[in-house]
A and B are shown apart, each in its own frame.
Chain A
Amino acid sequence: MARPIWSGSISFGLVSVPVKLFSATSPKEVRFHMLHDKDGARIQQKRVCSADGQEVPWEHIVKGFEISKGRYVTVAREELEAFNPRATKAIEIEDFVDLEQIDPIYYESTYYLVPDRGASKPYALLVEAMKKTGKVGVAKFVLRTKQYLCAVRPLGKALAVSTMLYADEVVSQDELEGLPESKPGERELKMAEQLIGSLESDFDIKKYKDDYREQVLALLERKAEGEEIVAAEPAEAPRGKVVNLMDALQKSLAAAKKGELREAEPDRGEVRRKPHPHHRAAARTARKRKSR
């Protein structure tokens, strides 16, 4: 098992359960390194002074906060450490609330809490009790140097902790322009509802794959095997005109009522024919049909 990120206890009221914290997610992005194209050597990053062009060692780097264009106040590490939240070693549940009341916009990262030695029984009790009541705990805890707000909830056999944003970290919709003011009409709404109904299914996360990552990995694998690879020409974006399918469908329904039927007319409008070397026989047949 991986090493815990943190250990401490989860507590509410007089109950305190020793726990360890582990990452619950592992995003799988394909990562690249920067290389020099001529000799394939790794690129190194250096911190360079913008005034004299010389490299600056770590001990001479301080933090600066820009108060106005080009004006900074600097702080030393010790000055900030004085404000570091006290590492309390506890996840203290302050409230129990309904999960539905928390909008997903607040969630950041999720971790698992695993009982520390000897804490298995009270841990199981907490998981079970939270499942029974259907509540999640809202707590604060300190991880590294930051105080996090978090939601603690039962997930399978474990407790999961999701760190959350504070209210002022979420962008207010008042800052957005162009959100609709008016309500749609009854009929349109009904049609849209039917459409949603026809697409209804059960959420199955396994259905969704990261195609991009799979393609990149397949490409890398082939390259690793020494294969020469020529980039495929990207397909052109469609330049066709903009159409409204519902209008087209409406007209189709009207035509169907009148019993209109139009057979293929190969030379109509903007349609062009392209003779294809492999298909000469087929093209001949097509021409024959036309001349009849």
Chain B
Amino acid sequence: MDVSIEGRRLSLSNLEKVLYPKTGFTKAQVIDYYMRIAPVVLPHLRDRPLTLKRYPNGVEKPFFYEKNCPSHRPPWVKTATVRGSEKQIDYCLIQDAATLAWAANLADLELHVPLHRWRNADRPDAIVFDLDPGPPADIEQCREVALLLKGMFDTLDLQSFAKASGSKGMQVYLPLNSRVSYEESKPFARAVAEALAAKKPKLVVSNMKKSLRAGKVLVDWSQNDPHKTTVCVYSLRAKERPTVSMPLTWEEVRKGPVSFEAEEALRRVEKRGDLFAPLLSLEQKLPRLH
């Protein structure tokens, strides 16, 4: 089916294909979700090298990561060339709704982006803490850890923001937008995670080692790295149901719903706007550690 989005022609295919078998959510619904969420998600995606995570045969079938922007892309899809020590990668940039629709049509269910924009590959706009519960720990322990992080940042006069990962955990973000480099943000994130782990050893680990994680929340600081990506806010997740990585108010983090599917996510955004808007503009200085 040929469509025109903001004047750009695009061919959509296999629209009836069910990508989430448990709920019957189709590719058409995935594209529809991304088109309706576009106004709030695009500012967060803009200029960030995108890692595609594609599920051509749905969430129950194999997926693959794609960093290089597919070569059969339409001419209007913008790319960013990033040179590593070994090879060069042309990443897709999702600058507009048409590109977002195109990516959705590739069954790129999840949108993964780094903390920086491509022209300033050394400068993260924010610090992220990925809270990942190791069973039997679950979202309840994540709530507790997220609130402890927020409490710490409140004390330091820094505003922090939480979102549901859309999977099992949560992420806490600390907006920077203040010319901080990864060389500064990563050690800071690590020090925060390690302080938490030292103070609450029964609740928190800061070490990736699987064996240490049972029953605890991993406060993963290592994503504060130019080579790492985190799931973008408002991205769908390739779980049983079409859940969304959704911004949460701190009251919701404390006790409220933290799981939102596509339709609920859209209704919520209509009502409350982009709770993550401060991530785009709030300037905060990183304190130095004593």
User: With an 8 A cutoff between CB atoms, is A232 at the interface?
Assistant: yes
User: With an 8 A cutoff between CB atoms, is A236 at the interface?
Assistant: yes
Determine if B154 and A255 form an interchain contact, defined as CB atoms under 8 angstroms apart: yes
Q: Which residues of chain B have C-beta atoms less than 8 A from A214's C-beta?
A: 85
Determine if B85 and A252 form an interchain contact, defined as CB atoms under 8 angstroms apart: no
Determine if B273 and A286 form an interchain contact, defined as CB atoms under 8 angstroms apart: yes
Q: Which residues of chain B have C-beta atoms less than 8 A from A271's C-beta?
A: 159, 282-284
Given A251-B151, A263-B250, A271-B283: A243 and B196 interface contact (C-beta under 8 Å)? no
User: With an 8 A cutoff between CB atoms, is A76 at the interface?
Assistant: no
User: With an 8 A cutoff between CB atoms, is A261 at the interface?
Assistant: yes
User: With an 8 A cutoff between CB atoms, is B260 at the interface?
Assistant: no
Determine if B288 and A251 form an interchain contact, defined as CB atoms under 8 angstroms apart: no
Q: Which residues of chain B have C-beta atoms less than 8 A from A84's C-beta?
A: none
Determine if A198 and B205 form an interchain contact, defined as CB atoms under 8 angstroms apart: yes
Determine if B207 and A199 form an interchain contact, defined as CB atoms under 8 angstroms apart: yes
User: With an 8 A cutoff between CB atoms, is B74 at the interface?
Assistant: no
The digit string for A190-201, where 1 denotes a CB below 8 A from any CB of B, is 011011001111
- Indicate the member of A191, A252, A268, A278 with the most B CB atoms within 10 Å: A252
Q: Which residues of chain A have C-beta atoms less than 8 A from B159's C-beta?
A: 264-266, 268, 271
Q: Tell me the residues in window 176-204 of chain B with beta carbons closer than 8 Å to chain A beta carbons.
A: 177, 179-181, 183-184, 191-192, 194-199, 201
- Cα–Cα distance between A234 and B179 once the two chains are bound (Å): 9
Smallest CB gap from A237: residue in B: B184
Determine if A283 and B152 form an interchain contact, defined as CB atoms under 8 angstroms apart: no
User: With an 8 A cutoff between CB atoms, is B285 at the interface?
Assistant: yes
Given A198-B205, A246-B199: A281 and B287 interface contact (C-beta under 8 Å)? no
Q: Tell me the residues in window 234-290 of chain B with beta carbons closer than 8 Å to chain A beta carbons.
A: 249-251, 254, 272-275, 277-278, 280-290
Binds B, one of A39-47, A150-158, A215-223: A215-223
Given A261-B250, A276-B280: A282 and B288 interface contact (C-beta under 8 Å)? no
- Cα–Cα distance between A199 and B207 once the two chains are bound (Å): 6
Q: Which of B83, B154, B156, B249 contacts A222 (CB 8 A)?
A: B83
User: With an 8 A cutoff between CB atoms, is A82 at the interface?
Assistant: no
Given A242-B288, A263-B249, A275-B281: A198 and B194 interface contact (C-beta under 8 Å)? yes
Determine if A263 and B198 form an interchain contact, defined as CB atoms under 8 angstroms apart: no
- Cα–Cα distance between A232 and B40 once the two chains are bound (Å): 31
Number of B residues near A (Cβ < 8 Å) is 65
Determine if A195 and B287 form an interchain contact, defined as CB atoms under 8 angstroms apart: no
Determine if B274 and A243 form an interchain contact, defined as CB atoms under 8 angstroms apart: no
Q: Which residues of chain B have C-beta atoms less than 8 A from A243's C-beta?
A: 156, 287-290
Q: Which residues of chain A have C-beta atoms less than 8 A from B3's C-beta?
A: none
Number of A residues near B (Cβ < 8 Å) is 61
The digit string for A179-192, where 1 denotes a CB below 8 A from any CB of B, is 00000000000011
Determine if A255 and B151 form an interchain contact, defined as CB atoms under 8 angstroms apart: yes
* CB of A204, distance to nearest CB on chain B (Å): 12
Smallest CB gap from A216: residue in B: B85
User: With an 8 A cutoff between CB atoms, is B157 at the interface?
Assistant: yes
User: With an 8 A cutoff between CB atoms, is A285 at the interface?
Assistant: yes
Determine if B156 and A248 form an interchain contact, defined as CB atoms under 8 angstroms apart: yes
* CB of B194, distance to nearest CB on chain A (Å): 6
- Indicate the member of B46, B85, B207 with the most A CB atoms within 10 Å: B85
User: With an 8 A cutoff between CB atoms, is B148 at the interface?
Assistant: yes
> Can you name 7 extra interface pairs (CB under 8 A) apart from A200-B207, A271-B282?
A192-B198, A242-B290, A256-B147, A270-B157, A279-B277, A283-B281, A289-B275
The 8 lowest CB-CB distance pairs between A and B, nearest first, are A252-B151, A235-B181, A240-B285, A285-B273, A240-B287, A195-B198, A286-B277, A243-B287
B residues whose Cβ falls under 8 Å from a Cβ of A: 39-40, 43, 46-47, 83-85, 122-123, 144, 147-157, 159, 161, 177, 179-181, 183-184, 191-192, 194-199, 201, 205-207, 209, 212, 249-251, 254, 272-275, 277-278, 280-290
